[in-house]
Amino acid sequence: MDIQEFIPPLSEARTLLLIGRDLPGAHHVLDQRVGSGNEPFAQRLRLGWIIVGETCLGKVHRNRISVNKTFVLDNGRPTVFRPCENRIHVSEKWDSIGSSVFSRNKDDNKVGLSIEDKQFIRLMEKSLHKDTDGNWVAPLPFRENHPPLPNNRLQTLNRAKNLHASLSKDPVKLQHMVTFMQRVFESKHAEVAPPLTSNEECWYLPIFGVYHPQKPGQIRAVFDSSAQFQGLSLNSVLLSGPDLTNNLLDVLLRFRMEPVAISGDIQQMFRSFLVEETHRNYLRFFWYQDNNPSNSLIEYRMKVHVFGNRPSPAIANYGLHKTAEISLEKYGSDVRDFIQRNFYVDDGLISLPTSTEAIDLMTRTMSALKNEGNLRLHKIASNKEEVMSAFANDDLAKDLKDLDIGNEQLPVQRSLGLNWDLMSDTFTFRVTGAEKPYTR
């Protein structure tokens, strides 16, 4: 036969590869040789020549060989059973997964951040910075793709004229407003507004006076950031930011854990954070020139974040926490924890085992806030006379400054809406019995 040289002797043939029928390309017949009757025949495949049919050695037929299709499972084990095409994987650690689902952690009862809250955090991380005087500077956090603000100058000017007419009929209120605004100008929190460039976007804020219910004769000028013009207001285009305020009940409970209690207040917290200069024209307002009611109304603009802007609390709290973080290395972890966990907005309250520890912590906290954020912590009060005696009179609460501590009766302090009696070291409640006429 012409293919004899390609066929090895049967005694030397070895089984090197078993090819299944599921590989049709290996079984394509490229050439063949056929005999007669039941004689074996030869085929040339891609892997070479093969002999098909029964053969014999010395008139004896060799045993037949049965071959089953073999499959290999994912774990490497061979099987003659056809595997399922679906792959269902069961973890061997299902018990640990089950236990973690029902585990509890410190964030369980906290509301997660919204998409806008995350945008606010990213903006503050990128843009919050200090100026050359060490003051924090933050932008107004505008919503992405917010509609352009129309010019509401005329509407705000009319409201300013109405306020002027109202104050002219009430000289006492007028003087209170002038006194308040004088502090604003002396603190350099506002400036005369520069001329606007052509088509420059801006916003004007109406202002009005609000008296403190617990402090007769003390008025605050509030900027009406929710005032609408053509369906828009400044607050409507600003991100409010996440609620970073500590839980009030938690702060009060920790305040009474240890025998020595001490409290303080950050002076004008909102106004301690400057507005990015490019955003100050969104905080324009009308007031008397030179703060003199006899003069005409002119345009001013605020340089600081104002009470009335929706994001101001979040900006102030974020800046306060940032100050605490950067003070960690120099002033200690207890100062950072005090600022981050025991402040309710601008009021810090904490209790410690001894007077020495209370004085030390408050002193370091005052230095940290001043040096790292240009924030003044003052209005110190304590249930221990030796603690208050350790601080300068200007740093004590207003009605404690002129007292002879140790020889005079200590007045009741207000802490987070409660009356704190320093002498008895108790919280008290004051019920007003003022008679009011019935309304309809």
Pair 260, 351 in one domain: yes
Kindly state whether residue 253 falls inside one of the protein's structural domains. Answer: yes
Pair 147, 21 in one domain: no
Instruction: Give the range of the structural domain holding residue 361, as residue numbers without chain letter.
Output: 129-428
Pair 33, 145 in one domain: no
Kindly state whether residue 91 falls inside one of the protein's structural domains. Answer: no
Kindly state whether residue 111 falls inside one of the protein's structural domains. Answer: no
Pair 243, 174 in one domain: yes
Q: For residue 42, what are its two tokens?
A: 């030869």
State how far the Cα of 351 lies from the Cα of 249, in Å rounded to an integer.
15
Looking at residue 1, its pLDDT comes to 60
Pair 134, 51 in one domain: no
Looking at residue 92, its pLDDT comes to 59
State the amino acid at position 419 in one-letter form.
Answer: N
pLDDT of 5-18, one tens digit each? 777 776 666 776 77
pLDDT of 233-291, one tens digit each? 999 999 999 988 888 888 888 888 899 999 999 998 888 999 999 999 999 999 999 99
Kindly state whether residue 114 falls inside one of the protein's structural domains. Answer: no
Pair 64, 169 in one domain: no
Q: Tell which of 25, 56, 71 closes a domain.
A: 71
The parts of the chain modelled with pLDDT lower than 70 are 1, 10-13, 16, 21, 55-68, 89-102, 399-411, 432-434
Q: What percent of the chain has pLDDT over 90?
A: 50
Q: Helices marked H in 192-247 — which ranges?
A: none
Q: Tell which of 34, 50, 71 closes a domain.
A: 71
Pair 142, 45 in one domain: no
Q: Tell which of 30, 55, 71 closes a domain.
A: 71
Kindly state whether residue 49 falls inside one of the protein's structural domains. Answer: yes
Pair 239, 326 in one domain: yes
Kindly state whether residue 436 falls inside one of the protein's structural domains. Answer: no
Q: How many domains does the chain have?
A: 2
Kindly state whether residue 440 falls inside one of the protein's structural domains. Answer: no
Pair 58, 204 in one domain: no
Looking at residue 64, its pLDDT comes to 54
Looking at residue 188, its pLDDT comes to 93
In angstroms, how far is the first alpha carbon of the chain from the final one? Answer: 124
Looking at residue 82, its pLDDT comes to 80
State how far the Cα of 366 lies from the Cα of 263, in Å rounded to an integer.
12
Pair 62, 207 in one domain: no
State how far the Cα of 172 lies from the Cα of 30, in Å rounded to an integer.
113
- CA dist list (Å): 267 to 50, 213, 273, 380, 419: 98, 19, 12, 12, 20
Pair 201, 294 in one domain: yes
Q: ∠ at Cα 96 (91, 101), nearest 5°?
A: 105
Kindly state whether residue 98 falls inside one of the protein's structural domains. Answer: no
